Amino acid sequence: MEECKKCNGLKWIVDRRTGKAIPCECQKVSKKEDFYLPPRFSKSCFENFQTYKQAQLFQAKKTAEDFAKKFPAVDFGIIFIGPNGVGKTHLACAILNKIYKEKGIKGLFLDYSNLNFQLKDTFYGDEEESVNSLIEEFIEAPLLVIDDLGSIKPSNWFLDIVYEIINQRYLKNKFMILTSAYQISEDTGKENLYSRIGDALVSRILEVCKIVEIQAKDHRKEVFQAGHKNK
């Protein structure tokens, strides 16, 4: 998929009138299904997920398919971990699309970094009720996808909100699909999920999610480079 020329892949642009950061048009949600799902992933499904004959991609796809087939009668959520471009978000969105199409269950898609901006914008607008309403929506969704966990290093205030969402879903026995480019490792020599979001949040995630690691090549990068070579 080509990078958006308006935001250069940053997902946000600056509103010239207000000077505030606002979501780019490429990130507008699909009103048809109202998942908060970016149009880029509105057609993500298991049928168009490429495994490139790689065992980990095949296994990750199978795990996602099994989850969608059994949902809501599942015992654990999933956290897909691997580098950018291996299909983590595709699989997460394929699950959302599958359970809606076949079971009429509407889950929600939450971009980790976008939520940070969204909450800040609402908070500074002095709309506490709107913040609480947004949090409640993510807590009560039948299934919640949190994409790109740890992609930014947020404030303690933001982490408290994310913990509240995840912890309340845990207490209500509501499951999640998470994706992250950071390994769940306590190796202090390099960045990992512990250093990005904190021990408490990782601990809670490990109680409710099965780890699915995808160590594969960045196929988006390969496709992009191949396209330029042919020009």
User: Does residue 16 sit within a domain?
Assistant: no
User: Does residue 12 sit within a domain?
Assistant: no
Q: How many domains in the chain?
A: 1
| pLDDT higher at 71 or 189 | 71
User: Does residue 8 sit within a domain?
Assistant: no
User: Does residue 128 sit within a domain?
Assistant: yes
Rounded CA Rg of the chain: 18
Q: Enter the pTM of the model.
A: 0.79
Contact 61, 91 (CB under 8 A): yes
| pLDDT higher at 93 or 38 | 93
Average pLDDT for the chain: 84
pLDDT tens-digit series, residues 8-44:
766 677 777 776 666 666 655 444 346 788 888 999 9
pLDDT tens-digit series, residues 112-148:
988 877 776 665 555 565 778 889 999 999 999 999 9
Question: Considering only CA atoms, which of 214, 219, 231 is closest in space to residue 56?
Answer: 214
User: Does residue 180 sit within a domain?
Assistant: yes
Q: How far apart are CA 77 and CA 55, in angstroms?
A: 21
- In degrees rounded to 5, what are phi and psi of residue 205? -60, -45
Q: Is the pLDDT of residue 89 over 60?
A: yes
Q: Is the pLDDT of residue 6 over 80?
A: no
C-alpha count within 13 angstroms, C-beta hemisphere, residue 212: 28
User: Does residue 9 sit within a domain?
Assistant: no
- Domain holding 109, by residue range, is 33-229
Give the range among 15-19, 151-155, 204-208, 213-217 with minimum mean pLDDT.
15-19
User: Does residue 5 sit within a domain?
Assistant: no
Question: Considering only CA atoms, which of 21, 30, 34, 196 is closest in space to residue 122?
Answer: 21
Q: DSSP secondary-structure letter at 27?
A: G
User: Does residue 2 sit within a domain?
Assistant: no
**Residue carrying the six token digits 């904190």:** 198
Q: How high is the pLDDT of residue 30?
A: 42
Q: How far apart are CA 68 and CA 139, in angstroms?
A: 20
- Check which CATH number belongs to the domain holding 225 and give it: 3.40.50.300
